[in-house]
Amino acid sequence: MSSTSLQDLLLLGRGSDLASERGVSCTGELPDASDPDLVARATAAKAALGSRALILGHHYQRDEVIAFADITGDSFKLAQAAAAQSTAEYIIFCGVHFMAESADILTGSHQKVILPDLAAGCSMADMATASQVQQCWNDLEKLGFAKVTVPVTYMNSSAAIKSFTGEHGGTICTSSNAEKTLRWAFEKAEKVLFLPDQHLGRNTAVIDLGLSLEDCVVWNPWKPQGGLTEDEIRNAKVILWRGHCSVHGRFTAQSIAEFKERIPEVQVIVHPECQHEVVTAADVVGSTEKIIKTVSESAPGSQWAVGTELNLVSRLAAQNPDKKVYFLDRTVCYCSTMNRIDLPHLVWALESLVAGKVVNQISVDPETARYSKLALEQMLAL
């Protein structure tokens, strides 16, 4: 692996642990980050692969990576792109592990999905393990509630959790279609088990569907029966998993109040993964794609404080010089694991493919993929 940079030291999360769990990301061939020819090498390797390779880039990626992406989008858009792609031999997914898993599930058996750095995981996805979710469902079955409950799983989850969802008649959602997904779920059942982001589930249920905060309970997988009484579960309409995004969870209502006091005309737009008090204090709430669209189409001279990942906010500011775009938090707030994919890793993956060597392939086992695909296809159908 390359030497650790200052930025890596600042952004260290569970990446190293996840890499060791999932396998070694690379074995010494990684180009040095200071190599002045990195851009030229990436350009040459991409050209050599031609139509055999498709590079997907999530909005939270570094600019140096986005520059080589054929398609840029949020997790929903990239899932659609992967499902629609049938010709490229290689899908190089510049995102995080769960996104690459979804791409492998949705693409053909003749295609290979590659994650340039296996350490690019997702702390939220890791907050719900297959054994924990199965225990939750066993508890609901024992109490007689499973038969009136449908699972809805956020895209930010492992293939194993998506598989559980598909096996039990549920579906996947993203921040773009969470409202539509929950409405679909309530047509099927009395209750929804929402995994693994409690904030997206709560905000969608209360703000978009008009449910009350009392209609939502939080299932803590570290406590017996989720830390809930039988009556609490019986009276709940949405059972929220105790998970969250480490980036969006940093934003506070106080930050919004301070911005409004300092710049009264500023408009605040935040992602629905933020805490409920942050979402209710914001002027606009929306998915990554909605945030981009709203700011880009706003009037010249408008001012925006944006509550989402810093790479995207910085890119929005650069792409909208006729507006003032601020980052809502006072401190640096990159997605530490998403940010691990950099130009050296992309170059290494591309050049390896040119040399005929497939590296960091993400492959979901057939049984897990079968039920996951049911849930993902239901999402795409919605």
Which pLDDT score, from 0 to 100, does residue 15 have?
37
The residue among 263, 362, 334 whose CA lies nearest residue 305 is: 263
**Of 3.30.110.40, 3.40.50.10800, 3.40.228.10, 3.40.50.2300, which CATH number belongs to 6-122+337-365?**
3.40.50.10800
Parallel, antiparallel or unpaired: strands 112-114 and 361-362 = antiparallel
CATH 3.40.50.10800 fits 248-327, yes or no: yes
Q: What is the pLDDT of residues 100-156, one digit of tens each?
A: 998 999 899 899 999 999 988 888 888 999 999 999 999 999 999 999 999 999 998
Which pLDDT score, from 0 to 100, does residue 338 have?
72
Task: Provide CATH 3.40.50.10800 ranges for the chain.
Answer: 6-122+337-365, 125-245, 248-327
Residues 341 and 65 sit within 8 Å (Cβ to Cβ): yes
Low-confidence ranges of the chain (pLDDT < 50): 1-24
Which pLDDT score, from 0 to 100, does residue 9 have?
26
Q: What is the pLDDT of residues 187-209, one digit of tens each?
A: 999 999 999 999 999 999 999 99
Which pLDDT score, from 0 to 100, does residue 25 have?
52
Q: Please state the CATH superfamily assignment of the domain spanning residues 125-245 in this structure.
A: NadA-like (3.40.50.10800)
Which pLDDT score, from 0 to 100, does residue 84 have?
87
SS3 of the chain = CCCCCHHHHHHCCCHHHHHHHHCCCCCCCCCCCCCCCHHHHHHHHHHHHHHHEEEEEECCCCHHHHCCCCEEECHHHHHHHHHHCCCCCEEEEECCHHHHHHHHHHCCCCCEEECCCCCCCCCCHHHCCHHHHHHHHHHHHHHCCHHHEEEEEECCCCHHHHHHHHHCCCEEECCCCHHHHHHHHHHHCCEEEEECCHHHHHHHHHHHCCCCHHHEEEECCCCHHHHCCHHHHHHCCEEEECCCCCCHHHCCHHHHHHHHHHCCCCEEEECCCCCHHHHHHCCEECCHHHHHHHHHCCCCCCEEEEECCHHHHHHHHHHCCCCEEEECCCCCCCCCCHHHCCHHHHHHHHHHHHCCCCCCEECCCHHHHHHHHHHHHHHHHC
Residues 156 and 124 sit within 8 Å (Cβ to Cβ): yes
